[in-house]
Each structure stands twice: as structure tokens, then as C-alpha cells.
Amino acid sequence: MLAVIPARGGSKGLPGKNVKKLAGKPLIAYTIEAALSSKEVTQIVISTDDEEIANVCSKYDVEIPFMRPEVLASDNALIVDTYTYTVDRINKEQNKNYQNMIALLPTCPLRNGNDIDSAVKIFKEKEADSVISYYEAPHPVQWYRYIDNNGVLRSVFQESDRLANRQEENITYLPNGAIYVFKMNLLRENKYYSDKSYPYLMPSSRSIDIDTLNDFKMAECALKDGVV
């Protein structure tokens, strides 16, 4: 399967994060190495608008067949448009016929090749429209509150403000951003989910998604301590 690693420049939360050294290697290198170790990935394409990112990635066995157009690299651009643009252009220019794809965000350095293969296995066995990596939420979603215009805490769920013990609540899950396996037909509808969308569950220890310096430091500690 085709794996697309989207890595635009211009991060606001942590500038230059995709090539920032994490435990001695550029952050994006961990995602590239995971894709290279996957048995299911047959082609790896980097989608970037940034020359520095392209130069770093050129040292690895991946393709950068074209730079991402500026219109797909703005803060307002939707990543789904980058996916469809990239796959369509690969199919046209390289005479391929990819109907499915894997998206691997470089901000999730702790997923590995086995994770990718396990997600693809679910995708194939379930004949899924999408498989997306999730991890168990640390707290029940029913505990969440928002603050209204008067500064009062309000329940996100209006049906009940009753407090319950943690074990009474349903276990809920959060996407960790590490792995997305899609049918292209679903993406062309600007959707990630359908009635045939399934999770690939990962442990929280491998589910750090780097957006801030604190996230970066947590991932570095996990790598150095060998907890992943």
C-alpha cells in the first residue's frame, strides 16, 4: 500500500518540529523508519512544501516526487485535500492505481511497523472504509465540562449532571494521530468515518502526538527510558 507522510513547514505550536532532533534524530525520521519496517507499505511518499524537510527526508529511502502546492500548505488547508491530491497525482504520473492509502503523521514518532501492519490487517479483514488508531481516554468523557459566558461550569452532555463512579461509565477512546488507513472513495467524500470504520487500539505509551514543546519532551523521555 501507498503510505503518505504529510509534513508541511510553518508549525505555529513548535516551529520546525518535523525536523527538530528528537533523541538524536529528526522527528520525521521515526515515522519514515516505521513505514520502511512495515511489511504492508510498498511505497512511501513525503508530501511537503518545505525545502528543509525535503532535504532531511532525501537521506532516506522515500520519494518526494513533487512539492506540495502552496494552496494545500496554508493554515486553512484541509489535510484530506492533500491526501487526494497526492494519491491522484501519483496514480497519474507513475501509472499506479492506488484505491487505498495509509497516512502517517510525523508528529507521532512512537508508532512502529507492527502497528502499521496490524492496522492494515484490520482494514483488510473487515473490508473497512477506514481504520484509525486510538488509545483509551484517561478520563470518562462524561466528566468534561465547559465554561459558559457567566463563568459557570456546564456539562457537555445535557442529559445528566449526575456524578458517577469511574467504573460505571463506558470506556471511551481518543484518536492518537498515528495511523490512518483509508479507502480513497471515503476521502473523496471529505470523510474519515463511515459505518465501516474501525479502530486500531494502541497503548497510551506509544500515543504521544507532538504539538507542543512539552509533548516533545515527553516523547524524548519515553525514547530515552525505553518505555515504548
| pLDDT value at residue 74 | 86
Residue 51: what residue type?
E
Distance (Å, rounded) from C-alpha 214 to C-alpha 154? 29
| Domain total of the chain | 2
| pLDDT value at residue 28 | 97
Domain identity same for 45 and 115: yes
List pLDDT tens digits, range 91-144: 999 999 999 999 999 999 999 999 999 999 999 999 999 999 999 998 888 888
Q: What is the pTM of this model?
A: 0.90
| pLDDT value at residue 168 | 65
Domain identity same for 143 and 65: no
Domain identity same for 88 and 149: no
DSSP annotation string for 121-172: HHHHHTT-SEEEEEEE-SS-GGG-EEE-TTS-EEESSTT------GGGSPP-
Domain identity same for 96 and 145: no
Domain identity same for 94 and 166: no
Per-block mean pLDDT, blocks of 10 residues, the chain (228 long): 93 84 95 98 96 94 94 90 97 97 97 98 98 93 89 79 62 95 97 97 95 92 79
| pLDDT value at residue 139 | 85
The domain boundary residue, chosen from 171, 186, 215: 171
Distance (Å, rounded) from C-alpha 180 to C-alpha 200? 9
Distance (Å, rounded) from C-alpha 211 to C-alpha 5? 16
Which backbone phi and psi does 115 adopt, to 5 degrees? -60, -45
Domain identity same for 122 and 147: no
Domain identity same for 36 and 145: no
Longest dimension (CA), the chain: 59
Domain identity same for 87 and 182: yes
Domain identity same for 180 and 154: no
Domain identity same for 68 and 144: no
Please classify residue 91 by burial: count the beta carbons closer than 10 Å to its beta carbon, then call 0-12 exposed, 13-18 middle and 19+ buried: middle
Structural domain including 6 reads 2-136+173-225
Tell me what the pLDDT averaged over the chain comes to. 92
Domain identity same for 183 and 143: no
- Give CA angle at 187 (28, 117), nearest 5°: 50
Domain identity same for 121 and 180: yes
- Domain of 177, CATH number, reads 3.90.550.10
What's the Cα-to-Cα distance from 123 to each of 182, 196, 218, rounded to whole Å? 8, 9, 30
Helix (H, G, I), strand (E, B) or coil at 150: coil
